[in-house]
Amino acid sequence: MVREFRDERRSIEQRAKVETLASEGEIQKLQRMLQIKDREMNKVKILAKNIVEQRTSVEIFFLDSLEKVRTEIALNRSQYVQAAQSAYQRKMLAAHSGQADFPKIRTFKKNDHSTNSVFADLSEAENWSSLGDQVDIRDLTWEQKEKVLRLLFARMNGLKTKTNVQRTQQSAPPLSIADKPNRLKPIEHAPNPTPTADVTNRADTTFITQQEQPSSVALPAISVKQLTT
């Protein structure tokens, strides 16, 4: 009876030792796997941090670019309205002195009922119909540049853009400039502080928003087809 008890105890002790060794081996294996996973997680964290920093830099660039474009739009619209009003006043003075015919009545304040308002000229600044497939960013008006930046900003954020470029107003930061289609018509007379006799015969066909302005925004050539897809 005592011998059987001792044999049973030795058998149990041996099984316990075997199970203990197996458990220790499994624990060591799991610890090595955990260390490997920890190293992989640290690498992922570093990569994620780098991606976030790079994305933040790109977003800051787009925000600065949009702010620059917004400032240029406000400045150029103000200059265009002033230039158009000066040209209209000169034509009225020339007509009053009998040197030319009276021009059509034109308004220089926002009025939905006006049929000849200077603000109606701004409706052409975002017209894409005259652009080819490959367009240099420098050839665009400031309003068109704003729309391009909005498209790029939306695509960077993974948003679905519309196929119609003229209706693509995506989730770029809101701007204070009203989003109207705005390609300026050429002013018949550029402002001239010293009017001459032939002032009514000269025309300035350069769009205000296409005049060269100092800008820190440098973007590559773009494709209109790429924007519309």
- What residues have CB less than 8 Å from 113, skipping those under 6 apart? none
3-state SS, one letter per residue, for 84-132: HHHHHHHHHHHHHCCCCCCCCCCECCCCCCCCCEHHHHHHHECCCCCCC
Residue 51 lies in a domain: no
Q: Is the pLDDT of residue 82 over 60?
A: yes
The helix (run of H) or strand (run of E) holding residue 134 is strand 134-135
pLDDT of residue 159: 60
Distance CA 24, CA 18 (A): 10
Buried b (16+ CB within 10 A) or exposed e, 24-56: eeeeeeeeeeeeeeeeeeeeeeeeeeeeeeeee
* pLDDT tens for each residue of 22-63: 888 889 899 999 999 999 999 999 999 888 888 788 888 888
- How many domains, in total, are found in the chain? 1
Residue 107 lies in a domain: yes
pLDDT of residue 172: 44
Residue 32 lies in a domain: no
Burial of 66 (0-12, 13-18, 19+ CB in 10 A): buried
- Tell me the percentage of the chain whose pLDDT exceeds 70: 68
Residue 44 lies in a domain: no
Q: What share of the chain is helix, strand, coil (3-state, %, to 5)?
A: 60, 5, 40
Residue 74 lies in a domain: yes
Residue 200 lies in a domain: yes
* pLDDT tens for each residue of 154-198: 887 776 444 444 444 444 444 443 444 444 444 444 444 444 434
3-class secondary-structure state, position 201: helix
Residue 214 lies in a domain: yes
Structural domain of 194:
59-228
What is the average pLDDT value for the chain, to the nearest integer?
Answer: 72
pLDDT of residue 41: 94
Distance CA 100, CA 103 (A): 9
**Residue whose pair of structure tokens reads 């809101």 in the numeric block:** 174
Mean predicted confidence (pLDDT) in 108-125? 76
The answer to whether 224 and 131 have CB atoms below 8 angstroms apart is yes
pTM of the predicted model, to two decimals? Answer: 0.48
pLDDT of residue 217: 42
Residue 151 lies in a domain: yes
